[in-house]
């Protein structure tokens, strides 16, 4: 999907005026042919998009399914879809920072801090849940903004600023938790519901799948009509139907599977809506364009009179906010907050997810959807290992191998792209 | 009384630490004229361009726009005045596509979202006017050839309908045919009343295009010439400092500012 959207405008060139319209079948064949040719050209030019991660995901699923029949069961996949949400939301924030060509090491600590703020306010001090929730998220935003501003002003690399943040926010979290150690959340509260609630009515999942496919189709159809009206290259109706059809098949298959267990999880819905929303923010707005431009070259962006300091601050603020939201989902999953919240492999998994999903470490390339795909790979490996009783040690090594492969692919595709330009 | 110059620099100074890169530099840019800015490596040509375009604000000196004094502290100010620049290093974002680069910082919006279609349409229109080989508008700039990148950089500078255009070695990386394309374009823009500063090492280009030449040497003005009447030898002597009645000064300073 990510790749499709990126390639939106360039599949077809303007046809010379006066060419007679070919019959319908030939039009379809030609649409497919030109997409294939275009795809090949892109791969050769090093624009791999999400192709590698999809292949890895398919491989992982096939291997674990062959080892254990329960891997692709509705129950396991449904749990998987909820397990990816917490870390996945954090990874979305990481994608923003990676697009600048920087790294945010503080997201783990910020997620723990936000969870602690919520727990202490709500459970210990009786603040209403919604208010505690808002304050917790804003705490993440504030932490991110402070880091972003320091990074933009001092021009110290973000990973150093956020390394200081990692310690600071972790200390602050321990301070806030005080001696209480572990705080249990209300099992039926708002935050617990975030990952507990399922839309048990089948119609919800199917309806949303239909709405999503319909919206995508209408938007791209409108775009094609507009392009045609001014004689610009545009996709044919057949191509639109094929693409939307593919998206619809995936959406309905997912809805079917989820409905066979407990229905659509609320957490997954929130996750996908946020990812889609932030994807639009990044690729369809002025703000997002500035983020990509900074990843392509800070000096070039500055000379194009972009507000470099503002964008850099905002990006780390987004990252802090997403870390806080992710932290609340993680706390919701275990309905408790403890001194170990936000520690361990959380940070590494979030960064790994973004990179495995296809966001470049060198900045300027990637989309929020890579957080979803990357998290699916990581969580699939974790879940498959658990199902097949493989020790955690092996899980780490395999995830590490996948991450390494992702970095190598990123680096090679980047060089291919540059070499392509010299030809 | 003649109209004041479009852009005039008076007594502009710039130092980097202890190195005085520009001292008391004067320059006038008139509408409908091409000024060649000449000088050896390290003479301060590129720095002067960056001062005018707001990338490196001047330490001292006055900049006048149509006779009134203005401040150029950042690239935004220069753009607002109507000054566009094609930098020597092009200053493109390699990861963005051609359309993204052309409209960077002045995207066209529709209902608050980027209007990719309109931007693509205008990009195509503009590029078709500039060059015969229009590159793939949706390919990232990093995958274009250097000639195509140059075309993109020039096209970008023309988007905001500027009145002053600064070209820092626009033909250095180009082949014969593309050089001709660029020079023809400069000629056309001059005829439309734009004031143009052209930095070039190629005396042939300068002779063919420029109306006046301003020579910088070691960060100072070292002569102004009417290109139509001055001989090439006179200009080159001024560039190399052969007219100076002093032992030859070796300079080891890097160019490229």
Q: Give the pLDDT score at B167.
A: 94
- Interface contact flag, A306 B79, Cβ < 8 Å: no
- Chain A: residue whose CA lies nearest to B77: A305
* Count of CB pairs separated by less than 8 Å, A with B: 103
Q: Give the pLDDT score at A310.
A: 96
- Chain B: residue whose CA lies nearest to A225: B117
- Interface contact flag, A305 B95, Cβ < 8 Å: no
Q: Give the pLDDT score at A12.
A: 41
Q: What's the burial of B66, exposed, middle or buried (CB within 10 Å: 0-12/13-18/19+)?
A: middle
Give yes or no for A10 touching B (CB within 8 A).
yes
- Interface contact flag, A422 B117, Cβ < 8 Å: no
Q: Give the pLDDT score at A332.
A: 96
- Chain B: residue whose CA lies nearest to A46: B143
The CATH number of B32-59+70-82+162-245 is which of 3.40.1010.10, 3.40.50.300, 3.30.70.20, 3.40.1360.10?
Answer: 3.40.50.300
Q: Report A:366-385 residues touching B (Cβ under 8 A).
A: none
B contacts of A419 (beta carbons < 8 Å): none
A contacts of B136 (beta carbons < 8 Å): 10
Of A285, A292, A305, the CB nearest to B95: A292
Q: Please, which residues bridge with residue A277 across strands?
A: none
Of A305, A365, A421, the CB nearest to B76: A305
B contacts of A363 (beta carbons < 8 Å): 95
Give yes or no for B98 touching A (CB within 8 A).
no
The pLDDT tens digits along chain B (257 residues) read: 577 899 999 999 999 988 889 999 999 999 999 999 999 888 899 999 999 999 999 999 999 999 999 999 999 999 999 999 999 888 999 999 999 999 998 999 999 899 999 999 999 999 998 888 788 898 889 888 888 898 899 999 999 889 999 999 988 878 888 888 888 889 999 999 999 999 988 888 888 889 999 999 999 999 899 988 888 888 888 888 876 544 444 444 444 44
How large is the ipTM?
0.87
Q: Give the pLDDT score at A9.
A: 41
A contacts of B117 (beta carbons < 8 Å): 9, 223, 226-227, 230, 232
Pairing type for strands B34-39 and B212-217 reads parallel
B contacts of A286 (beta carbons < 8 Å): 107, 109, 114
Q: Give the pLDDT score at A79.
A: 95
Of B105, B144, B145, the CB nearest to A305: B105
Tokens, residue A364: 């300027």
- Chain B: residue whose CA lies nearest to A14: B124
- Interface contact flag, A296 B121, Cβ < 8 Å: no
Q: Give the pLDDT score at B237.
A: 87
- Interface contact flag, A422 B145, Cβ < 8 Å: yes
Domain boundaries, chain B: 32-59+70-82+162-245, 95-161
Q: Give the pLDDT score at A40.
A: 74
B contacts of A364 (beta carbons < 8 Å): 93-96
What is the spatial distance between Cα A277 and Cα A11, in angstroms, rounded to a whole number?
A: 25
- Interface contact flag, B137 A9, Cβ < 8 Å: yes
Q: What's the burial of B49, exposed, middle or buried (CB within 10 Å: 0-12/13-18/19+)?
A: buried
- Please give the C-alpha separations between residue A47 and each of A138, A392, A400, A409, in angstroms, as whole numbers: 37, 34, 24, 11
Residues of chain A with pLDDT under 70: 1-28, 30-32, 34-35, 38, 41-48, 420-423
Q: What's the burial of B176, exposed, middle or buried (CB within 10 Å: 0-12/13-18/19+)?
A: exposed
Interface mutation vs chain A, best among B93, B96, B113, B162, most A CBs within 10 Å: B93
What is the spatial distance between Cα B152 and Cα B169, in angstroms, rounded to a whole number?
A: 15
What is the spatial distance between Cα A217 and Cα B188, in angstroms, rounded to a whole number?
A: 45
Closest-CA distance of chain A to residue B5, Å: 25
Of A7, A284, A304, the CB nearest to B113: A284
Closest-CA distance of chain A to residue B173, Å: 12
DSSP letter string, A18-73: TPPPPPHHHHHHHHHHHHHHHHHHHHHTT--TTHHHHHHHHHHHHHHHHH-TTTTS
Tokens, residue B232: 């090439």
Give yes or no for B69 touching A (CB within 8 A).
no
What is the number of other CB atoms lying within 10 angstroms of the CB of residue A49? 24
A contacts of B121 (beta carbons < 8 Å): 230, 232
What is the spatial distance between Cα A108 and Cα A349, in angstroms, rounded to a whole number?
A: 10
What is the spatial distance between Cα A264 and Cα A258, in angstroms, rounded to a whole number?
A: 6
| Secondary structure of residue B237 in the 3-state scheme | helix
Q: Give the pLDDT score at B255.
A: 41
- Interface contact flag, B138 A299, Cβ < 8 Å: no
- Chain A: residue whose CA lies nearest to B90: A300
Give yes or no for A47 touching B (CB within 8 A).
yes
The dihedral of CA A79, A81, A87, A89: what is its sign? negative
- Chain A: residue whose CA lies nearest to B79: A305
Give yes or no for B93 touching A (CB within 8 A).
yes
Of A7, A297, A420, the CB nearest to B143: A420
């Amino acid at each position: 999907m990510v790749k499709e959207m990126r390639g939106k405008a360039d599949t077809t060139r303007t046809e010379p005026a006066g060419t007679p319209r070919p019959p319908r079948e030939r039009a379809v064949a030609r649409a497919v042919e030109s997409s294939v040719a275009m795809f090949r050209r892109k791969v050769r030019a090093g624009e791999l998009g999400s192709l590698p991660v999809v292949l890895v995901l398919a491989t992982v699923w096939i291997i674990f399914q062959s080892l254990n029949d329960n891997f692709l069961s509705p129950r396991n996949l449904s749990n998987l879809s909820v397990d990816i949400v917490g870390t996945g939301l954090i990874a979305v924030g990481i994608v923003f920072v990676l697009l600048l060509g920087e790294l945010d090491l503080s997201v783990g600590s910020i997620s723990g801090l936000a969870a602690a703020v919520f727990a202490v306010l709500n459970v210990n001090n009786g603040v209403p849940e919604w208010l505690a929730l808002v304050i917790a998220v804003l705490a993440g935003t504030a932490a991110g903004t402070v880091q972003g501003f320091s990074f933009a002003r001092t021009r110290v690399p973000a990973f150093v600023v956020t390394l200081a943040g990692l310690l600071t926010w972790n200390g602050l979290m321990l301070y806030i938790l005080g001696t209480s150690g572990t705080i249990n959340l209300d099992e039926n509260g708002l935050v617990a519901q975030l990952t507990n609630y399922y839309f048990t009515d089948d119609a919800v999942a199917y309806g949303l799948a239909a709405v999503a496919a319909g919206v995508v189709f209408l938007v791209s159809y409108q775009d094609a009509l507009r392009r045609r009206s001014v004689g610009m290259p545009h996709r044919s109706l057949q191509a639109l139907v094929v693409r939307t059809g593919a998206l619809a098949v995936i959406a309905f298959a997912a809805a079917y599977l989820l409905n066979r267990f407990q229905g659509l999880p609320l957490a997954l819905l929130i996750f996908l809506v946020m990812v889609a929303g932030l994807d639009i923010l990044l690729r369809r707005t002025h703000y997002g364009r500035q983020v990509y431009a900074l990843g392509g070259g800070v000096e070039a962006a500055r000379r194009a009179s972009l507000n470099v300091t503002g964008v850099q601050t905002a990006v780390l603020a987004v990252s802090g906010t997403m870390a806080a939201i992710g932290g609340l989902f993680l706390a919701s999953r275990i309905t408790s907050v403890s001194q170990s919240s936000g520690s361990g492999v959380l940070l590494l998994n979030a960064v790994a997810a973004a990179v495995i999903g296809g966001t470049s470490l060198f900045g300027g390339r990637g989309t929020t959807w890579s957080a979803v795909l990357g998290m699916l790979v990581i969580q699939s490996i974790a879940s498959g290992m658990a199902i097949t009783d493989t020790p955690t040690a092996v899980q780490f090594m395999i995830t590490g191998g996948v991450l390494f492969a992702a970095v190598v692919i990123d680096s090679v595709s980047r060089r291919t792209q540059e070499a392509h330009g010299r030809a | 009384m003649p109209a004041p110059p479009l852009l005039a620099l008076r007594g502009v100074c710039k130092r980097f630490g202890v190195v005085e890169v520009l001292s008391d530099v004067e320059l006038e840019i008139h509408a409908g004229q091409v000024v060649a800015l000449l000088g050896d490596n390290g003479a301060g040509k590129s720095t002067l361009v960056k001062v005018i375009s707001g990338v490196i604000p001047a330490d001292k000196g006055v900049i006048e726009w149509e006779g009134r004094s203005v401040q150029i502290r950042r690239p935004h100010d220069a753009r607002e005045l109507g000054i566009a620049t094609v930098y020597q290093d092009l200053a493109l974002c390699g990861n963005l596509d051609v359309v993204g680069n052309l409209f960077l910082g002045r995207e066209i919006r529709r209902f608050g979202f980027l209007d990719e279609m309109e931007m693509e349409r205008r990009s195509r229109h503009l590029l078709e006017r500039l060059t015969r080989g229009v590159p793939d508008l949706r390919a990232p700039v990093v995958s274009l050839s250097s000639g195509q990148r140059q075309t993109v950089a020039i096209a970008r500078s023309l988007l905001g309908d500027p009145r002053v255009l600064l070209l820092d070695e626009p033909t250095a990386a180009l082949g014969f045919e593309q050089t001709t394309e660029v020079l023809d374009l400069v000629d056309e823009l001059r005829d439309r009343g734009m004031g143009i500063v052209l930095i070039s090492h190629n005396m042939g280009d300068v002779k063919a295009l420029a109306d006046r030449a301003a020579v910088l040497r070691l960060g100072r003005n070292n002569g102004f010439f009417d290109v139509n009447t001055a001989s090439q030898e006179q200009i080159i002597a001024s560039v190399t400092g052969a007219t100076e009645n002093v032992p030859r000064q070796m300079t080891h300073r890097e160019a490229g500012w």
